[in-house]
Amino acid sequence: MESQNYLGIYISKNTATVVCLGPQQKDGDVPVCFSVSVEGQQQQDIQALAGLISQGCAERELKFSEVTVALDCAMFMQHSVHSDFKDPKQIAATIRFDTEEALATDITNVGLAFEIVSCDETGSQLTVFTAERKILSEVLEALQQYNLDPVNIEPDVNCLSRFISRKANPAEPEQTVTLYGMLSGRSGYLIVPPAATDEESQKTSIVRTFLVGPTQDRAKLLQREVLVTTALIEGAGPIGCLKVFDSAGIVDSMQMGEKLGIDIEDIDLRSIAETKLQPETDCADPIDCSIAYGAALALSEKGRSVDFREDFSPFQGKKLRLQKTLKAAAISITILLIAVGLYFHTQLFSVSRGNNNLRSRFAKDYAEVTLEKLPASFKIKDAVRELGTLKRKIENEKKGLITDEKSISSNLTLALAAFNKCAAQTNLNIKEITVSTDDILVTGDTSSRQNRQRFFGTIRSNGLDIKRESYGLKDGRENFKITVAPKT
């Protein structure tokens, strides 16, 4: 049976970080993390990177059921877009038009993912992420080539926000906003994560990303981006604290706090990540590992994810597997039904063959009394019916009941008496009378519906019951067909 572990993959241009964790994240279930890179190799593309990911999973004997991908911020762009709607389904139906209008450019070859930041009476404020469809397709096709079909493809900053909210953010609700500033080897992230106590995961995070060059002053870059981000989160509340982590260890948080006038704390993300993973984890940058961890967490939380794939290539892995399973089950059931049918057909053929053999054996002994000696005009059904009639007649005579002739005469007398009573009043016209020992079939018509009802009433009051009746208007007269019998 396939393991229910989840695989989170953080993909950048030349490197990838992978985390494999169980669906419940129990204390004894320690995730595995490793990184691979195509730098220095002859083939340096996404396909080669996907091959290294698959090889790394095979070497560590990782078993998993679903895959998610976090896309590096260098592969997408982030925008602020307004929508006139509040319902996510309505927003999803119009987001491409709103984004194209906001960017004033053609987005035909762009994949979209969005997150609702806030809502008011005018609509919703959205954070929209855009990535070229070519890049998304290359990532998807390369992974699918190695049977790594991702359920969703998210921006890396959303995955990092999820990891901070679930694993690093304090559970106690705070009166002020906590801003996280993270610097990896090539990217920067500013995040206000949703509250860790938000079980329904309905509250969204505020996120920003920026690239970090190898020669840039990391402290000044982070300081500048914090000032820009402060204006975006005024609606969420005052910034009470800025928690900083620099994977290069260059940023001086105390000096930055004096310049910004904000309380700044260092967050030991490396220690947090290492306590969540196995000791032999092979990952140089803890931010990369945290992003991959957050990608894997996407499958264990409720709510809508910020998914590029939902727009350009909806995931159908489960659907295809279900279709294959149903197809195999249908074929198996068909074969089973054919086998059962053949078995019972064989049994029936065997019994029929035995009957035929028995018939041929006794044909000679009973040849004198078999039906073959009877006239060609003789019918066995007629003989049975006549015997039945004779039997009933004999039984009635033994019980002292009236004979068939007396019964017919008595029934006919009652019917004629009823006809005579109302013939003149109802303009009665009798077309046909069929008499038997049990009942009388009468076909006729009257001049109107009222007269037909009066005729039926006379029949019932004259010692007869109408067992069956049918009637209808034809040629200006009320036609009827009734079966009457003496009351019992």
The CB density around residue 303, as the number of other CB atoms within 10 Å, is: 11
Domain end call among 282, 315, 348: 315
Mean pLDDT of 425-429: 83
Same domain, yes or no: 412 and 263: no
Same domain, yes or no: 268 and 415: no
Mean pLDDT of 319-334: 78
Tally of structural domains, the chain:
2
Please check whether residue 443 is in contact with residue 432, taking contact to mean a CB–CB distance below 8 angstroms: yes
Share of the chain above pLDDT 90, in %: 26
What's residue 197's pLDDT?
47
State how far Cα 250 lies from the chain centre: 51
Structure tokens at 404: 């068939």
For 327-370, what is each residue's pLDDT tens digit? 888 888 889 889 888 888 888 877 777 777 777 766 666 665 55
Q: How confident is the model at residue 212 (pLDDT cuts 50, 70, 90)?
A: very high
What's residue 91's pLDDT?
92
CATH number for the domain spanning 414: value is 3.30.70.60
* Span of 173-177, 400-404, 437-441, 452-456 with lowest mean pLDDT: 400-404
Q: Residue 192: inside a domain, yes or no?
A: yes
H helix or E strand, kind and range, residue 415: helix 404-426
Same domain, yes or no: 165 and 41: yes
The Cα 188–Cα 190 span in angstroms is: 7
Please check whether residue 95 is in contact with residue 114, taking contact to mean a CB–CB distance below 8 angstroms: yes
As a whole number of angstroms, the longest Cα–Cα distance in the chain is 127
Domain end call among 291, 315, 339: 315
Q: Which residue has the higher pLDDT, 435 or 73?
A: 73
Same domain, yes or no: 104 and 236: yes
What's residue 440's pLDDT?
85
CATH number for the domain spanning 11: value is 3.30.420.380
What's residue 321's pLDDT?
64
Is 163 exposed, middle or buried (CB count within 10 Å of its CB: 0-12, 13-18, 19+)?
buried
Same domain, yes or no: 172 and 280: yes
Calculate ∠ Cα 145-148-151, nearest 5°: 125
Same domain, yes or no: 145 and 282: yes
Q: What would the DSSP string read from start to end of 166-221?
A: IIIS-SS--SSEEEEEEE-SSEEEEEEPPPTT-TT--SPPEEEEEE--TTS-HHHH
What's residue 325's pLDDT?
77
What's residue 36's pLDDT?
92
Flag whether pLDDT at 196 surpasses 60: no
Same domain, yes or no: 133 and 275: yes
Mean pLDDT of 45-66: 91
Same domain, yes or no: 66 and 195: yes
Q: Residue 387: inside a domain, yes or no?
A: no
Q: How confident is the model at residue 437 (pLDDT cuts 50, 70, 90)?
A: confident
For 247-299, what is each residue's pLDDT tens digit? 888 988 888 888 888 888 888 887 777 666 655 556 668 899 999 999 998 88
Host domain of residue 41: 6-315
Q: Which residue has the higher pLDDT, 386 or 109?
A: 109
What's residue 341's pLDDT?
86
Q: How confident is the model at residue 141 (pLDDT cuts 50, 70, 90)?
A: very high
Kindly report the average pLDDT of the chain as a whole number: 82
What's residue 146's pLDDT?
92
Q: Residue 328: inside a domain, yes or no?
A: no
Same domain, yes or no: 285 and 425: no
* Span of 22-36, 225-239, 328-342 with lowest mean pLDDT: 22-36
Domain end call among 253, 285, 315: 315
Mean pLDDT of 97-121: 89
Same domain, yes or no: 133 and 269: yes
